[in-house]
Structure 1
Amino acid sequence: MKDNTSRSSSCSSLKLCLLSILFLTETVVAIKLPPNLKIPALIAFGDSIVDTGNNNNVKTVVKCDFQPYGINFQGGVPTGRFCDGRVPADLLAEEVGIKSVVPAYLDPNLTPKDLLTGVSFASGGSGYDPITPKLVAAISLQKQLEYFEEYIEKVKNLVGEERKNFILANSLFLLVAGSDDIANTYYDLHARPHYDVDSYTTLMANSASDFVNKLYGYGVRRIAVFGAPPLGCIPSQRTLGGGLLRVC
Structure 2
Amino acid sequence: MRLSIVKVILFCVYASVLLCGSDGSTVLPKNVSVSAILVFGDSSVDQGNNNYYNTWGKANFLPYGEDFMGGIPTGRFTNGKTMPDLLAEAFGVKDYLPASLDPLLKDKDLQTGVSFASGGSGFDPQTTKITSGLSMSVQLDMFKQYLGKLKRNIEEEVADNIINNSIAVIVAGNNDLLFTLPVRRLQYDAASYANMIVNMVLNFTQEIYTLGVRRIVVFSAFPLGCVPAVRTVGGGLGRSCVDKENNVAQLFNNVLKHKLQIWGTSYPQSRVAFVDYYNSVMSIIENPHKYGFDVVDRGCCGTGELEATYLCNKLTAPTCPDRSKYFFWDGFHLTEKGNSIVLNHILQDMVNTLF
TM-score range, shorter-chain basis? Answer: 0.7 to 0.9
What one-letter code is carried by the residue in structure 2 that aligns with 1:29?
Answer: L
Q: 2:79 matched to which residue of 1? A: 84
Give the alignment partner of residue 151 of structure 2, picking from 151, 156, 161: 156
Aligned CA distance change for structure 1 residues 192 and 144 (closer, same or farther; 3 Å):
farther
Contact 2:37–2:114 (CA under 8 A) maintained in structure 1 = yes
Say if 2:106 is the partner of 1:111. Answer: yes
Contact 1:48–1:123 (CA under 8 A) maintained in structure 2 = yes
Q: 2:208 matched to which residue of 1? A: 215
**Separation of aligned partners in 2, 1:96 and 1:192:** 42
Q: 1:206 matched to which residue of 2? A: 199
Aligned CA distance change for structure 1 residues 47 and 242 (closer, same or farther; 3 Å):
same
**Separation of aligned partners in 1, 2:196 and 2:167:** 25
Give the alignment partner of residue 229 of structure 1, picking from 222, 225, 228: 222
* Displacement of 1:73: 1.2
Aligned CA distance change for structure 1 residues 113 and 246 (closer, same or farther; 3 Å):
farther
Identity level (%): 49
Aligned CA distance change for structure 1 residues 100 and 247 (closer, same or farther; 3 Å):
farther
* Displacement of 1:247: 4.6
Contact 1:58–1:138 (CA under 8 A) maintained in structure 2 = no
For residues 25-82 of structure 1, give each alpha carbon's deviation from its aligned partner in whole angstroms, at most 9, with x where no partner exists: xxx5327421121111101001111110001112112111222211221111221111
Contact 1:56–1:65 (CA under 8 A) maintained in structure 2 = yes
Contact 2:123–2:137 (CA under 8 A) maintained in structure 1 = no
Give the alignment partner of residue 102 of structure 1, picking from 97, 111, 115: 97
Contact 2:35–2:163 (CA under 8 A) maintained in structure 1 = no
Give me the TM-score of the superposition, normalised by structure 2.
0.59
Say if 2:46 is the partner of 1:72. Answer: no
Secondary structure of the residue aligned to 1:225 is: strand
For residues 128-183 of structure 1, give each alpha carbon's deviation from its aligned partner in whole angstroms, at most 9, with x where no partner exists: 21211122221111111111111001111111110011011110100110111111
Give the alignment partner of residue 170 of structure 1, picking from 165, 168, 171: 165
Give the alignment partner of residue 234 of structure 2, picking from 229, 241, 244: 241
What one-letter code is carried by the residue in structure 1 that aligns with 2:101?
Answer: L
Q: 2:127 matched to which residue of 1? A: 132
Give the alignment partner of residue 122 of structure 1, picking from 117, 124, 135: 117
* Displacement of 1:246: 4.8
Aligned CA distance change for structure 1 residues 140 and 36 (closer, same or farther; 3 Å):
same
How many aligned positions are there?
A: 220
What one-letter code is carried by the residue in structure 2 that aligns with 1:161?
Answer: E
Secondary structure of the residue aligned to 2:127 is: helix
Say if 2:175 is the partner of 1:180. Answer: yes
**Separation of aligned partners in 2, 1:140 and 1:113:** 26
Give the alignment partner of residue 29 of structure 1, picking from 12, 18, 26: 18
Q: Comparing both chains, which one has the higher relative contact order based on Cα–Cα distances under 8 Å and sequence gaps of 6 or more? A: 1
* Displacement of 1:238: 3.0
Give the alignment partner of residue 59 of structure 1, picking from 51, 54, 60: 54
For structure 1, the residue ranges without an aligned partner over 5 or more in a row are 1-22
What one-letter code is carried by the residue in structure 2 that aligns with 1:140?
Answer: S
Secondary structure of the residue aligned to 1:86 is: coil
Q: 2:4 matched to which residue of 1? A: none
Secondary structure of the residue aligned to 1:52 is: coil
* Displacement of 1:243: 4.9
Contact 2:44–2:77 (CA under 8 A) maintained in structure 1 = yes
Q: 2:187 matched to which residue of 1? A: 194
For structure 2, the residue ranges without an aligned partner over 5 or more in a row are 1-14, 20-25, 242-355
Aligned CA distance change for structure 1 residues 192 and 61 (closer, same or farther; 3 Å):
farther
- The higher radius of gyration belongs to 2
Aligned CA distance change for structure 1 residues 243 and 69 (closer, same or farther; 3 Å):
farther
What one-letter code is carried by the residue in structure 2 that aligns with 1:163?
Answer: V
